[in-house]
Amino acid sequence: MKLLAAVALVIPAALTVLPGCPLQCGDWQGAGDTMYRNDRGESLMLCQNGGYAATLNTGMVEGVFEYTDMIRGANPETGARTFTMATSPDGTATSAELAGTWTVATLDQVELDHAHIQCLDLETRAWWGTVGTTAFLPKAAAFKKPATGFETAEACWQAQAAGEYPEAALCEDELLACPDGRVLVTQGQSFSTGDYTAAFGALVVSPRTGGFASFEGVYSAAGTLTTRDVYGSGTTTTTWRQVPVSELSNGTGCQ
């Protein structure tokens, strides 16, 4: 697994036969690109080079994507997932992060050529040359959640004040994913190290010497890390909130 890896575009067969769909339907500029449009006047260009450009009412968003069972977009500067999109054989698509009803756009050759400029522009970005060079996040990402057994950190602090929880223990579990593939986890009064891999916002984390159970999760550009036990049923999830690395306890860092 590689972070923002060389993108494998596994295209549903239905897309290759839609009128105006540029996927494998010509040899002109933009012949391998696909554009989606929605009922809000927004567009999403999926480029053959593995990048995407979304023109939204809130502004332009760019990044990289993979297309396997669904489309997964990511921010190449942070490694966080920006959106997922489920597609249907009829050319429609839905996304929790990108509002509206999306449909594959019918474009003629001239329109494809013009739209392809967005894809070429992506290759001029400073982050473009770093895509696919590592299986880890490009920069450190830190997260916190209430200590195990507590709904909130405040409940833990109250328990400490009542003498029901060790005063020296942290009331928030902490997780730090470093650009070198290490993960540092602080729980209560324990500190553990592990390793992780990341791709399009999906993290798989394993301990080095115990201390915590293996887990996987999704790092979202919304500022959360939603995790579940790799060996669990997957029905129970935990949401961590992203925080600046400087907010971690005891000077924890990636140095």
What is the value of pTM for the model shown?
A: 0.83
Cα separation, 6 vs 49, in Å, equals 9
Structure tokens at 50: 């593995």
pLDDT for the residue numbered 31: 55
Taken in order 163, 167, 171, 173, the sign of the CA dihedral is negative
Please give the backbone phi and psi of residue 228, each rounded to the nearest 5 degrees, phi first.
-150, 155
The Cα 24–Cα 167 span in angstroms is 63
Determine the pLDDT at residue 132: 82
β-sheet bridge partners, residue 172: 146
Which residues on adjacent β-strands are paired with residue 202? 199, 218
Neighbouring C-beta atoms of residue 30, cutoff 10 Å? 25
Residues of the chain with pLDDT under 50: 1-28
In the prediction, which pLDDT does 234 show?
Answer: 54
Q: What is the pLDDT of residue 232?
A: 55
Main-chain dihedrals φ then ψ at residue 247, nearest 5 degrees: -85, -5
**Tell me, what's the pLDDT at 173?**
95
Please return the burial class of 250, using the count of CB atoms within 10 Å of its CB with bins 0-12, 13-18 and 19+: exposed
Residue 85 near residue 98, CB atoms below 8 Å = yes
- At residue 191, the pLDDT reads 92
The CA distance from 151 to 165, in Å, is: 14
pLDDT (0 to 100) of residue 236: 74
User: Quick one: pLDDT at residue 195?
Assistant: 97
CA distances (Å), origin 223, targets 169, 215, 242, 244:
25, 19, 5, 11
